[in-house]
Amino acid sequence: MSSTIFNNPDIVAKGWYFVCASQLLSIGSVKSFALCGQRIAIFRGDDGQVRALDAYCPHMGTDLGIGSVDGNQVRCFFHHWAFDGEGQCQDIPCQDHIPLGAQVQPYATQEKYGFIWIYPDKVAPTTVAEFDELKGQELVVVVDKPLTRQCHHHICMINGIDVQHLQTVHHLPVDLELSLQQQGEQIDFTLSGELLNTNWRERLARAILGPRYAYSMRYAHGCLGLLTMMQEVRWLPKLYMLYAYRPVGNTTVIQPIYVTQKRAGLLGAVMAHLLLWLTRLSYYALRGEDGKIYDNIRFSTERLLPVDAPIVHYVKYVNGLVPSRWSRSLPKPLPRERGTLSASSESFETESLSVVSPASLAEGIGG
Ligand code: FES
Ligand SMILES: [Fe+2]
């Protein structure tokens, strides 16, 4: 399987990339950021709206991030040209005439999960991805510290669907079946199976959780992962977290975000924070072990096994994404598929693998 968009640092797929926490950009402030090989200036106007532009001023190239906000426009620090949210220059203090080309590329933005997100086009065809069960609900969000991995974000994202490593790296006995659904630029992997019943810990887990366990990973645009844990269990509510990915140079910045629905009253608030804490605990338990892999990997898809079917599907999905204007080159056309690993995309099930331990399944999934 040769790489086209997947694991290709010269191509940035269209999608929502996180910029910074919303609270970092107060009304009347402007900042610029390096992301996806670009320099992007974002500013919040008097109306509270966030706007994003290519950062370099078309006059002499000053970074608009060091400028200032004037109403709902950003004014360049150097000679005070002012740009609106469409990227059009609206004012040049030393003359009345606005020359052709006095404009910069604007980008769609959205605020969600406590973050500002940017899409590499003026208009985005979709909003930032959501969990089905949380749609339309008020959320409680906890933002964790970002971390950096020394590989492409497409590689980090494999961790969430690599079933084998739950056994080999995290020593978790796993018996999971995969089902998969793709809709446009979003793909859902659900891994589910029986809880084992061979020792007292497993029996205790079955008594609490019931006989089955499942987790699902929704990938959106190959740059955002939405993990739902504790599915198909009896007593515990589902736990939700997001992994937002952003390429910076040859590394990936990963932003973990924990979310749950808001609950009424003091007890509800305590419950929400308890669940968020549990989510974080699950993620932290095994993150370090995964780091050893992703900081040193030279990824290859040449020798994948049938058990790696989720990864084959994931790679195909990524290669079907749309390159953005931020790409440094266009992808090569896909070669003809060959061999048994070129499974078709819609929906399928792999064979069962091995065993599951309950607490563990919440873990070992993060990038
Ligand atoms: S460089 Fe921006 S106004 Fe001159
Ligand atoms: Fe892991």
Residue 150 CB coordination number (10 Å):
14
Please state the atom number of ligand 1 nearest to the C-alpha of residue 62.
Answer: 1
Residue 7 is assigned to a structural domain of this protein: no
Domain boundary among 119, 145, 179: 119
In a domain, 323, yes or no: no
CA atoms within 13 A on the CB side of 150: 7
Q: Domain check: are 253 and 158 in the same one?
A: yes
In a domain? residue 356: no
Amino acid at 312: V
| pTM score of the predicted model | 0.86
Q: 265 and 190 in one domain? A: yes
Claim to verify: residue 82 and residue 26 sit in the same structural domain: yes
Sequence letter at residue 107: Y
Nearest to 283 by CA among 349, 222, 365: 365
Distance in Å, CA 66 to ligand 1 centroid: 11
Q: Do residues 54 and 199 both lie within one domain?
A: no
- Say how many Å lie between the CA of residue 153 and the centre of ligand 2: 15
What is the reported pLDDT for 167? 73
Is 334 inside a domain boundary? no
Which ligand is nearest the CA of 217, by number? 2
Domain C-terminal end among 86, 119, 152? 119
75 shares its domain with 140: no
Asked if residue 253 belongs to a domain, the reply is yes
Q: Is 337 inside any structural domain?
A: no
Domain membership of residue 354 (yes or no) is: no
We report the CATH number of the domain holding residue 295 as 3.90.380.10
Residue 92 alpha carbon, nearest atom of ligand 1: 3
Q: Among 30, 56, 62, which is best to mutate for testing ligand 1, by the most ligand atoms less than 8 A from CB?
A: 62
Domains of the chain: total: 2
Q: Which of 265, 293, 312 is the last residue of a domain?
A: 312
80 CA closest ligand 1 atom index: 3
What is the atom index within ligand 1 of the atom nearest the CA of 60? Answer: 1
Residue 63's domain is classified under what CATH number?
Answer: 2.102.10.10
Q: Give the pLDDT score at 109.
A: 98
Q: Compute, in angstroms, the gap from residue 254 CA to the centroid of ligand 2.
A: 14
pLDDT at 169: 84
Tell me, in angstroms, the distance from the centre of ligand 1 to residue 331's CA. 35
Its domain, for residue 30, covers: 17-119
The encoded tokens of residue 362 equal 């919440």
List the chain residues with pLDDT less than 50: 1-2, 336-366
In terms of domains, do 275 and 302 share one? yes
Residues 101-127: tens digit of each pLDDT: 999 999 999 999 999 999 999 999 999
Identify whether residues 142 and 78 lie together within a single domain. Answer: no
Q: Are residues 297 and 244 in the same domain?
A: yes
What's the gap in Å between 310 CA and the centre of ligand 2? 15
Atom of ligand 1 nearest to the CA of 61: 1
**pLDDT of 121:** 97
147 and 231 co-located in one domain: yes
Classify residue 317: in a domain, yes or no.
Answer: no
Same domain, 211 and 142: yes
Give the Å distance between the CA of 93 and the centre of ligand 1.
11
Closest-CA residue, ligand 1 atom 4, reads 79
Residue 88 and residue 162 in one domain: no
Ligand 1 midpoint to CA 185 (Å)? 38
CA distances from 213 to 149, 191, 254, 255, 339 (A): 29, 9, 27, 26, 32
Residues with CB under 6 A from ligand 1: 57, 59-60, 62, 76, 78-79, 81
Domain identity same for 90 and 162: no
Q: In the chain, where do the E strands start and end?
A: 17-21, 30-35, 38-44, 50-54, 68-70, 73-75, 82-83, 89-91, 106-112, 115-119, 139-143, 147-149, 177-183, 186-194, 212-220, 224-231, 239-248, 251-261
